[in-house]
């Protein structure tokens, strides 16, 4: 199951463009919102959060956010805004949750192999790197394993073939291809096309524009 991270926060008075001054203080602007909380501007330690954000599966991580030393609030990351040029974190949205209510999020796939097709000279193509799931917060996994070992050249795995942990529901289309094993030349062409597409669009968690609140 996913880990729980305690994070200390302070109420934030600097908003909008003036929040850029927080960077000089080693702080990162954020917001905590949810039922019974409304929307509360906060600030957290930048270095501490950047180390957390570097971990795979951070969107399924549970946080206990303590604002100004008050009782911690259970929360998850709803969105992270990045600078489109530098790639640095600009802003974080924390979503307050209730432990007895299901939540939806995305978790990474962990591919276990090599496949039989790869051993025979084939190439494994990854069509999905993460999946959308629903579960109680305490049941959220850090990742979902994908066993590719039986795949031969020409074989594919679909979302319907995945085996999520108990209490976890997959929300993606069951017919969506997760991965496939193909011949080397086709595999190289497909991987190059995928790499070009990723390079054209910078990675963003969530849909928030790179603006601070």
In CATH, what number does 4-96 get? Answer: 2.40.240.10
- From the list 74, 50, 69, 71, the residue with the least C-alpha distance to 2 is 74
H-type alpha helices, the chain: 46-53, 116-119, 184-200
Predicted pLDDT of residue 54: 84
Predicted pLDDT of residue 197: 64
> Residues 56-77, buried b or exposed e (16+ Cβ, 10 A)?
ebbbbbbbebebeeeebbbbbb
Predicted pLDDT of residue 23: 78
Higher pLDDT, 185 or 198: 185
Cα–Cα dist 59/182, whole Å: 31
Cα–Cα dist 186/94, whole Å: 42
pTM: 0.76
- From the list 96, 31, 26, the residue with the least C-alpha distance to 63 is 96
Higher pLDDT, 112 or 54: 112
Supply the mean pLDDT for the chain: 86
pLDDT confidence bin for 151, thresholds 50/70/90: very high
Predicted pLDDT of residue 207: 42
Average pLDDT over residues 119-137: 95
For 20, list phi and psi in degrees, rounded to 5.
-60, -25
- From the list 26, 58, 64, the residue with the least C-alpha distance to 44 is 26
In CATH, what number does 103-200 get? Answer: 2.170.120.20
Q: Where are the domains of the chain?
A: 4-96, 103-200
Cα–Cα dist 118/133, whole Å: 29
Tokens of 209: 């524009």
Percent of the chain with pLDDT over 70: 82
Cα–Cα dist 73/68, whole Å: 12
Average pLDDT over residues 129-152: 95
pLDDT, tens digit (0-9, with 9 covering 90-100), for 88-100: 888 999 999 999 9
Positive/negative CA dihedral, 82, 49, 77, 43: negative
pLDDT, tens digit (0-9, with 9 covering 90-100), for 65-79: 999 999 999 999 999
- From the list 41, 54, 32, the residue with the least C-alpha distance to 203 is 54
Predicted pLDDT of residue 41: 94
For 13, list phi and psi in degrees, rounded to 5.
-105, -25
Average pLDDT over residues 111-118: 95
pLDDT, tens digit (0-9, with 9 covering 90-100), for 14-32: 776 555 678 788 999 999 9
C-beta atoms surrounding 44 within 10 Å: 23
Higher pLDDT, 36 or 140: 140
187 pLDDT above the threshold of 70: no
- What is each CA distance from 113 to 106, 110, 117, in whole angstroms? 22, 10, 10
């Amino acid at each position: 199951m996913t880990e729980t991270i305690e994070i200390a926060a302070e109420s934030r008075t600097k908003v909008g463009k003036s929040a850029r001054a927080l960077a000089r203080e080693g702080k990162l602007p954020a917001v905590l919102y949810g039922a019974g909380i409304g929307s509360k501007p906060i600030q957290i330690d930048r270095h501490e959060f950047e180390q957390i954000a570097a971990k795979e599966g951070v969107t399924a991580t549970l946080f206990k956010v303590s604002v100004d030393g008050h009782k911690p609030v259970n929360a998850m990351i709803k969105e992270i805004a990045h600078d489109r040029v530098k790639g640095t974190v600009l802003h974080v949205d924390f979503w307050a949750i209730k432990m007895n209510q299901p939540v939806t999020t995305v978790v990474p796939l962990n591919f276990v192999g090599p496949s039989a097709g790869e051993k025979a000279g084939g190439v494994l193509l990854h069509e999905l790197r993460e999946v959308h799931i629903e579960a109680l917060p305490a049941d959220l996994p850090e990742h979902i394993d994908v066993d590719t070992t039986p795949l031969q050249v020409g074989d594919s795995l679909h979302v319907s073939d995945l085996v999520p942990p108990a209490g976890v529901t997959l929300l993606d289309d069951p017919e969506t291809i997760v991965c496939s094993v193909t011949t080397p030349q086709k595999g190289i062409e497909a991987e190059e096309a995928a790499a070009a597409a990723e390079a054209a669009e910078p990675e963003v968690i969530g849909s928030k524009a790179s603006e601070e609140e």
